[in-house]
């Protein structure tokens, strides 16, 4: 993946830049020893690595502002980082960039159940937001599978989703306000703990902006009352296409389960070998979860059973106890790790209309055969957010490139089917050069003008999202 040529001036000036950073930040908040900055050289797209110039780990919004103001004055690129779990290379640095990590800013600032919000520092991990309120019967809905590690900062950066976002929406639907520091060091508050802010919906612009517009330091998040109960059902099918058709039928019937997750045979087999979840021997399975009162769950599951029966399921297993429910989810939650035991894989993230699922799954199998690389599908089927995992051998020359070309074909297919290049992982480096498949030059120009307003010098995460050729003039390249 091409990166812009690092600024020779910035590289030559490293010692002076670090010295100036140490004047505005506590000594332990600036890391420049190459042995330590190495830990920041990649995110979860670990095939690509580059050690940064330095890393800063501020503890307050004021420290973030002081640091950005200085780096703006010195014209040093900055890459904001939450927990570094991006699968799209979103938080991978360049050699001339300072990584600004939010990991030390993880406090809960306010919990207000009367007005249904929690305010946290943006470095707080996703799961620990719910951890702070579950004792009082509340939860924060967006639940990326990486929720134990990933930070709210990165969730906002990527507009992240998760298994339960079919019903509750993704980050943008649960974000009420942010404190944002601009590259010039100005602190702005956007939105807040009320239903809607006056003026333009800038919060919608910030959420999903991949660290391009400013650094989020605090977030006000919508919290929800825990449901009375929830129950998953596991449904096995004879083919991917039939499972896909069943998803489309459930949604068409107007039923809104809290989650509909899909796994195909390669993922089922890998998962069984990995954690023995007791999944049936079938080509594809769905995990459908309904929640509410006992009567609501029974009604929804009854309708889902009727629909599934029309697709000749191999198995229909309704969880009869909390333990059985856990076992049904165990395989799905372990699927990425299980596929990792089979070999190297690249995780794609594209969105398609739910009605296109059967056809797109069929075409993915064809692409897999044509390229000679195995694909496993495990994804949020209810909202058409696909995650094909392409297996390859990183040690075999040429396989990485083959895998990337195959990934590009699948993502183009998603756009062709009426979908989008990204679902929840963002564009980052990974899909940067495919943006022209989805957007006309004037669309990209309009998006870049938004960045011009927030970051006129193009210092924030500028090698991401926009193809380098398209953004070259703005980056001074
Ligand atoms: C095993 C695994 C499973 C995953 N499952 C899911 C899933 O189910 N759903 C999902 O959506 N994602 C998933 N992901 C991807 C990833 O966890 C999400 O994109 C997550 O939101 C990234 O959070 P992070 O804190 O690690 O962000 P980082 O990787 O640090 O950063 C992500 C992006 O946000 C920007 N950013 C970071 N901090 C800030 C800030 N303070 N201000 C402005 N911009 C900032 C970065 O520059 C970057 O562009 C998964 C990843 C892994 C490894």
User: Ligand 1 centre and the CA of 148: distance in Å?
Assistant: 12
Beta carbons within 10 angstroms of residue 172's beta carbon? 17
CATH T-level fold of 108-225: 3.30.465
Q: Do 373 and 410 contact (CB within 8 A), yes or no?
A: no
How far apart CA 317 and CA 34 sit, in angstroms, is: 53
Q: Return the domain boundaries, the chain.
A: 8-103, 108-225, 227-338, 343-424
pLDDT at position 477, please? Answer: 61
Sequence-distant (6+) residues with CB within 8 A of 58 are 25, 29, 64, 67, 100, 104, 105
What residues flank ligand 1, with Cβ below 6 Å?
43-44, 79-87, 90-91, 102, 122, 144-146, 150-151, 153-155, 157-158, 160-162, 210-211, 215-216, 336, 424-425, 461
User: Ligand 1 centre and the CA of 321: distance in Å?
Assistant: 33
Sequence-distant (6+) residues with CB within 8 A of 148 are 125, 126, 127
How far apart CA 172 and CA 87 sit, in angstroms, is: 19
User: Ligand 1 centre and the CA of 302: distance in Å?
Assistant: 37
**Closest Cα to atom 23 of ligand 1:** 154
Long-range contact list for 411-417, CB < 8 A, 24+ apart? 411/348, 411/350, 411/437, 412/437, 413/350, 413/360, 413/363, 413/364, 413/367, 414/350, 414/351, 414/352, 414/360, 414/386, 415/350, 417/352, 417/353, 417/356, 417/359, 417/360
**Closest Cα to atom 8 of ligand 1:** 144
User: Ligand 1 centre and the CA of 150: distance in Å?
Assistant: 6
CATH of domain 343-424: 3.30.70.2740
Secondary structure of the chain as H, E, C letters: CCCCCCCHHHHHCHHHHHHHHHHHCCHHHEECCHHHHHHHCCCCCCCCCCCCCEEECCCCHHHHHHHHHHHHHCCCCEEEECCCCCCCCCCCCCCCCEEEECCCCCCEEEEECCCCEEEEECCCEHHHHHHHHHHHCEECCCCCCCCCCCEHHHHHHHCCCCCCHHHHCCHHHHEEEEEEECCCCCEEEEECCCCCCCCCCHHHHHCCCCCCCCEEEEEEEECEECCCEEEEEEEEECCHHHHHHHHHHHHHCCCCCCEEEEEEHHHHHHHHHHHCCCCCCCCEEEEEEEEECHHHHHHHHHHHHHHHHCCCCCEEEECCCHHHHHHHHHHHHHHHHHHHHHCEEEECCEECCHHHHHHHHHHHHHHHHHHCCCEEEEEEHHHCEECEEEEECCCCCCHHHHHHHHHHHHHHHHHHCCCECCCCCCCCCCCHHHHHHHCCHHHHHHHHHHHHHHCCCCCECCCCCCCHHHHHHHHCC
**Strand 78-81 relative to strand 54-56, pairing:** unpaired
Domains 108-225 and 227-338 in one fold:
no
Q: Do 332 and 387 contact (CB within 8 A), yes or no?
A: no
Beta carbons within 10 angstroms of residue 326's beta carbon? 13
User: Ligand 1 centre and the CA of 146: distance in Å?
Assistant: 8
Rg (Cα) of the chain, in Å, rounded?
A: 23
CATH T-level fold of 8-103: 3.30.43
**Closest Cα to atom 13 of ligand 1:** 144
**Closest Cα to atom 5 of ligand 1:** 145
**Strand 215-222 relative to strand 30-31, pairing:** unpaired
**Closest Cα to atom 14 of ligand 1:** 146
**Looking at the DSSP assignment, which residues form a beta bridge with residue 385?**
351, 380
- Of ligand 1's listed atoms, the one at least distance from the Cα of 122 is 41
CATH architecture of 227-338: 2-Layer Sandwich (3.30)
Secondary structure of 153-189 as H, E, C letters: HHHHHHCCCCCCHHHHCCHHHHEEEEEEECCCCCEEE
Ligand 1 site-directed mutation target among 41, 56, 150, 463, most atoms within 8 Å of CB: 150
What values do phi and psi take at 350, rounded to 5? -135, 160
- Of ligand 1's listed atoms, the one at least distance from the Cα of 211 is 44
How far apart CA 26 and CA 29 sit, in angstroms, is: 5
- Of ligand 1's listed atoms, the one at least distance from the Cα of 425 is 19
User: Ligand 1 centre and the CA of 372: distance in Å?
Assistant: 30
Question: Which stretches of the chain drop beneath a pLDDT of 70?
Answer: 477
User: Ligand 1 centre and the CA of 99: distance in Å?
Assistant: 15
**Closest Cα to atom 2 of ligand 1:** 146
């Amino acid at each position: 993946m091409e990166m812009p040529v690092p600024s020779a001036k910035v590289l030559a000036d490293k010692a002076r830049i670090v010295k100036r950073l140490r004047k505005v930040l506590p000594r332990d908040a600036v890391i420049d020893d190459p042995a330590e900055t190495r830990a920041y050289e990649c995110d979860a797209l670990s095939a690509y690595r580059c050690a940064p110039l330095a890393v800063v780990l501020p503890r307050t919004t004021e420290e973030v502002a002081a640091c950005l103001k200085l780096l703006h004055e010195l014209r040093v690129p900055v890459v904001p980082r939450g927990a570094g779990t991006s699968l799209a290379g979103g938080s991978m640095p360049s050699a001339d960039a300072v990584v600004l990590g939010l990991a030390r800013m993880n406090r809960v600032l306010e919990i207000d159940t009367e007005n249904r919000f929690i305010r946290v520092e943006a470095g707080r991990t996703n799961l620990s937001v719910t951890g702070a309120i579950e004792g009082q019967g509340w939860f924060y809905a967006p639940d990326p599978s990486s929720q134990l590690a990933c930070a709210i900062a990165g969730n906002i950066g990527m507009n992240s989703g998760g298994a339960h976002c079919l019903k509750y929406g993704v980050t943008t639907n649960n974000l009420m306000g942010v404190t944002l520091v601009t590259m010039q060091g100005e602190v702005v508050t956007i939105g807040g703990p009320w239903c809607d802010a006056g003026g333009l919906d800038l919060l919608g612009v910030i959420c999903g902006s991949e660290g391009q517009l400013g650094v989020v330091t605090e977030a006000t998040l919508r919290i929800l009352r825990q449901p009375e109960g929830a129950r998953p059902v596991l449904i096995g099918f004879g083919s991917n296409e039939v499972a896909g058709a069943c998803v489309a039928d459930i949604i068409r019937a107007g039923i809104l389960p809290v989650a509909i997750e899909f796994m195909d045979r390669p993922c089922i087999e890998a998962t069984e070998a990995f954690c023995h979840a007791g999944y049936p021997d079938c080509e594809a399975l769905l995990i459908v979860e309904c929640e509410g009162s006992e009567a609501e769950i029974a009604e929804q599951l009854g309708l889902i059973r009727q629909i599934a029966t029309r697709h000749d399921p191999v198995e229909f297993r309704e969880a009869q106890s909390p333990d059985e429910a856990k076992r049904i989810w165990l395989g799905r939650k372990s699927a990425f790790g299980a596929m990792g035991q089979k070999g190297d894989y690249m995780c794609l993230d594209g969105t398609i209309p739910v009605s296109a699922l059967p056809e797109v799954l069929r075409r993915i199998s064809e692409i897999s055969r044509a390229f000679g690389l195995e694909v496993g599908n495990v994804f949020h089927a209810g909202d058409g957010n696909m995650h094909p995992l392409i297996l390859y051998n990183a040690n075999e020359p040429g396989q990485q490139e083959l895998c990337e070309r195959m990934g590009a074909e699948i993502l183009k297919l998603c756009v062709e089917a009426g979908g989008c290049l990204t679902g929840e992982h963002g564009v980052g480096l990974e899909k940067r050069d495919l943006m022209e498949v989805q957007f006309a030059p004037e669309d990209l120009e309009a998006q870049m003008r938004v960045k011009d307003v927030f970051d006129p010098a193009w210092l924030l995460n500028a090698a991401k999202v926009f193809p380098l050729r398209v953004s070259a003039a703005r980056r001074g390249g």
